[in-house]
Amino acid sequence: MKDVLVIGGGVAGLVAARECAHLGLSVVVLEAAGTLGGAVAGHEVAGLQLDAGAESFAVRGNTVAAFIADLGLTDQIVEPNPAGAWLHLPGHRPGGAPVSVPLPKAGVLGIPGSPLAEDVRLAIGWSGALRAYADRLIPVLKIGREHSLGALVSKRMGQKVLDRLVNPVAGGVYATAAADLEVDVVAPGLNRALTSAGSLSGAVTAMRTAAPAGSAVRGLNGGMHRLVDALVADLGRYDVQIRTHAAVTGFTPVDVPKTGADGSQTTSRSWVVEFAPTTDADAAAGDAAAEADAPTTPAEPRTIEARHVILAVPAAAALGLLAPLGADFAALAALGWPAPAAVELATLVLDAPSLDAHPRGTGALVAEGTPGVTAKAITHVTAKWAWVDALTPPGRHILRLSFGRAGAPVPTLGLSDADLQQLAVHDASAILGVDLAGAPVVGFARTLWSDGLSPATIGAPERIRRVRETVEATAGLDVTGGWLSGTGLASVIPDALAAGIRGRRAVLDL
């Protein structure tokens, strides 16, 4: 019997487990994959330890920095290159060549605070800038409160601001089109500021003025995956048992009646969690058997009993595990959840002295429909992070390209590694404006993230409320993760800490 069992070894699960273990509770973590950290994992490319997923954290609320300090990593926090990112856009005229311009500085999610500023005009042209400026002449009450970020922007500032500024940023941050994003989730206070300022650009300016100075994100020297390493090491010091290759197939409550010394009757609840051990060899054998149309023998399931379960897995897996617990849980899966966003990342390590000038700052966002490019974004990693640049010899650069837009299949899934590498080099050349066809590629890796579900889409707050209320009504059960808390570590960590606190209180109250 364990005190707490955490299903999922991503950052949310590890943080919740740590919060319970630090009070002396016995904790076990089960992770289906062979690695820990989820979207904050790392990988080795060309002998370098790089981030395979998240490479930075938002500084808002100081929550992540405080947690990092608790792990003893404060001196490892680093700032990105302030040069900022660019935009790669269709030509201003139909059929015209694509253009690359710096991402305007004075904005919120791409919404400009100064529509006639030069950096805005470079992106949307004079006609787009004048239409955006008309926002200052449109009465607030004529449009009213909007839930959709895309609808709000297009009504007040026009289609060019939406297509050439806001959608590229929304796709990069949330992997979702702006039309599907809930304003009050992605930009809290924007609707209120709009009412006070009388215009969307005025609201953006007010929010920018109130925001703290400095970069909105920071990273860790050596990569964000060091956060996972530090978490795992800390859990080891508290004897937390971590099992990878342990795919949970279900869990059921066990209610045991108890008779007190005075004859009173109470009920104690625990959970029996069933999981199937897997290995990389098992997975490879399963793939081979599937290709040969041969039957496979599943691994013998095992069980662990725990007083409290914290579910910290992606949405589809969580809803699937919860459904058998009863009608209320089964109904959660029918709440109109959008399809999870899927993104494939291609990391290139190449010798290209022509990139020493950092032609597109720290990278670029690509507007949908830009001809000649499949990728939706590129990060010039060696330009963005000084610690990466210090590890590479002169002329060597690391680029990371992102493929896959909301509502469409990932265009690279059917490509071989060689074909994806060739496509990545082609797109990097087009976006960065430098011919990289002859640059020697000394390292390449691909990473698929296929289970992202944005909690910022329209209707998500109500769906999330239903999930939390249903789980809270069930003794000994909790749930956490980015699909409920919000995108990024600044949202995930506080939610996981809260789940851990509830878990330890539930166990200690038994």
**Once rounded to an integer, what is the mean pLDDT over residues 381-407?**
95
CA 198/CA 424 separation, integer angstroms:
44
- Give the residue from 221, 217, 196, 215 showing the smallest Cα distance to 207: 196
Asked if residue 45 lies in contact with residue 348, where contact means CB atoms within 8 angstroms, the answer is: no
CA 339/CA 272 separation, integer angstroms:
30
* Residue 510 pLDDT: 64
CATH 3.30.1300.10 fits 341-452, yes or no: no
Structure tokens of 444?
A: 């390449």
DSSP state at residue 276: E
pLDDT tens, 232-288?
A: 999 999 999 999 999 999 999 998 776 666 767 667 789 999 999 876 544 444 434
CA 370 to chain centre: 24
pTM score of the predicted model: 0.90
Classified as helix, coil or strand, 366 is: strand
Share the mean pLDDT of the chain.
91
Query: Domain boundaries in the chain?
Result: 2-35+228-338+459-508, 86-212, 341-452
The band of 451, judged by pLDDT with boundaries at 50, 70 and 90, is confident
CATH 3.10.150.10 fits 86-212, yes or no: no
Q: Which residues partner with 443 through β-bridges?
A: 349
Which CATH number is 2-35+228-338+459-508 given?
3.50.50.60
pLDDT tens, 145-190?
A: 688 999 999 999 999 999 999 999 998 888 889 999 999 999 988 9
HSE value, Cβ hemisphere, 13 Å, CA-based, for 317: 20
Q: What is the dihedral of CA 402, 482, 65, 225, to 10 degrees?
A: -50
CA 26/CA 305 separation, integer angstroms:
12
The band of 215, judged by pLDDT with boundaries at 50, 70 and 90, is low
CA 115/CA 32 separation, integer angstroms:
49
CA 230 to chain centre: 20
Structure tokens of 239?
A: 């004897």
E strands, 453-494, are: 477-479
pLDDT tens, 43-65?
A: 999 999 999 999 999 998 889 99
For the cut 50, the answer to whether the pLDDT of residue 307 exceeds it is yes
* Residue 103 pLDDT: 95
**Once rounded to an integer, what is the mean pLDDT over residues 399-409?**
91
* Residue 296 pLDDT: 41
CA 402/CA 446 separation, integer angstroms:
10
Q: What percent of the chain is predicted at pLDDT more than 90? A: 77
* Residue 95 pLDDT: 84
Instruction: Considering only residues 495 and 262, tell me which one the structure prediction assigns the higher pLDDT.
Output: 495
Helix H segments across 395-459? Answer: 417-432
Number of H helices, E strands in the chain: 20, 21
* Residue 283 pLDDT: 44
